[in-house]
Amino acid sequence: MSTRVYLSKHTCQTTPEEETPVCLRIQRSRATVNELHNHLQHAYQRDDVRLVRRITVLLALLVHQGPVAVLRERWSLSPSCLYHWRQAFLRQGRASVGYRHGGGRPEQLPPTQRKRVVALIEAGPLVVGLATACWHAVLIRVLIWREVGVLSNRHYGCTWRHNWGVSFQKARFVSDHLDAAKRLAWLQAQGPALVRAAKRCPGLSLFEAEASFAPWGSWSSTWARRGPQPAVPPSGKRTGYKVFGAIEYFSGRWFAQGLAGRFTSASSQAFLPMLRAQTTEPLVLRHDGARYPTSASTTAFLAAHQARLTAYPLPSYSPDYHPIEYLWKKTQQRATHNKYCKEFAELTVSVARALAYFATHPDTVLGLFGRSCEESGLELQQAA
């Protein structure tokens, strides 16, 4: 560093406790100034607040000849601190500009790199060129190594991700065939218009759909001795228990009908007379885009009973807009989760018991509508 210091003949040396600045005439080279600016830029990139403050003060003192009183007031520093920084730089140069580690494990990822990694995690593995749609611990470790050059310890990976606000969650899969424009139009206009019309007109506003419950339940993991992979004997039967269901938007009233066979247009049409028999009001049905409620025979059946039945389809590939899907999930948790039904009758009894619970707890059903509205509102915010 080519910083030269000249003391004039009448230079007055002061102590650190005095506020009068030391009278120094400093000859600075361009290389010295550029080196300080480069060091300041690196401090900004590392988000080192203390180092940014120190270099900024040194530039103000040595380059711009800023008054000590002004710098002391602006940065809330004592005169002795400013005196020490200046004298150390004049004697040692850039080696004096820095801070030693104060102890403890140093942070491997500074805030700027941490923000970049979290942004890539939010973007998803496909965006960064990985052949998967979900993150796991090994992929995040590879991502950190590839992007910032830090090989994280696997024992501290969970702690890092927790501190970053990242958690292990079950992903919600969305079809790539959906029409985003039609979904948004339904959320903004058609859906609210149907709700307003249902409030004005007497009748029941029903969400109708179907679900299938397997006899082997929803198994995932089990505790077992290390070594061979645990095996669970299947029931030997692939027949599931089919259920047609409908929930009323305003009251949470629940209608259901079981089916031992397959879903067909005929079985779908058999569910509609059951609805008409248990109610006296006009019925407004909202159904998904499955082939059963949209077939030609079902359309003809609705036209023949249009005095009490009116149907409106939801956007294609949009089960997340159907509140009854949340009820099917709750039914699965109560009826088949981690349960093994060796006989088909056991499955039907378990599912019927779960459906009967929701029939007598309309407040629980109404809570599922609230969750659906929350997710729909979040999608509207993201689209905006």
So where are the chain's domains? 4-96, 111-163, 180-222+233-383
CA–CA separation, 352 and 350 (whole Å): 6
What is the model's pTM? 0.51
pLDDT of residue 203: 83
pLDDT of residue 7: 37
**Successive 10-residue mean pLDDT values, the chain, 384 residues:** 41 45 55 81 76 84 82 85 85 76 63 86 83 79 83 69 75 61 76 77 85 74 64 61 89 87 84 88 83 82 86 75 84 83 85 91 82 55 46
Where residue 366 falls (left for φ over 0; alpha for ψ -120 to 50; beta otherwise) is: alpha
The length of the chain is: 384
Exposed/middle/buried for 176, CB within 10 Å: 0-12, 13-18, 19+?
exposed
Hey, what are 260's tokens?
């031992």
Rg (CA), the chain: 35
Closest by alpha carbon to 202, among 254, 279, 287? Answer: 279
Q: Which residue has the tokens 């965006």?
A: 127
CA–CA separation, 105 and 101 (whole Å): 9
Q: Which long-range contacts (CB under 8 A, 24 or more apart) does 144-148 make?
A: 144/109, 144/117, 147/113, 147/116, 147/117, 147/120, 148/109, 148/113, 148/116, 148/117
CB of 254 closer than 8 Å to CB of 357: no
CB of 245 closer than 8 Å to CB of 212: no
User: 180-222+233-383 is classed in which CATH architecture?
Assistant: 2-Layer Sandwich (3.30)
By three-state DSSP, how is residue 376 classified? helix
pLDDT of residue 15: 45
